[in-house]
Amino acid sequence: MKNSALFRLVSRLLIVSMLWLPFSAGAAMVGTSQLVAPTQVQLDRQKLDSFIARADVTKQLEALGIRASVAKQRVAGLTDEEVQQVSGHLNGLPAGGTSGWAIAAGVIVIALIVWALYTYNT
């Protein structure tokens, strides 16, 4: 007798919980670009952080009057599109850096973005 009362109680609780919880479940196809884009932005941010952390870039930034810590904060504040744009500029620079102009161009691009963000935020 006790078992049947327990079974009735459990079955009623299960019925109420099944009616109370939603039955909807959504599934959709996810494109490769949707999965790759966030990781690509993270890689681009890491590339910019490592670029700013380089000693020669830090030296050039300080020569332009920008502290490396401020530049790192500005890079952290960039939107995903801006990070991809700056990273695209860095990817376009010649590998090996046969002259200092490639590094100077990268530093100037970053300095211009930092300056633009600074003037935009104030």
pLDDT bracket for residue 20 (50, 70, 90): confident
Interval 49-99: pLDDT, tens = 888 888 888 888 888 888 888 888 888 888 888 888 888 877 776 665 556
**In contact, 74 and 118? CB cutoff 8 Å:** yes
pLDDT cut 90: percent of the chain above it? 0
Report pLDDT for 83: 83
DSSP summary character for residue 59: H
In the chain, where the domains are located: 31-121
Contacts of 80 (CB under 8 A, 6+ apart): 37, 41
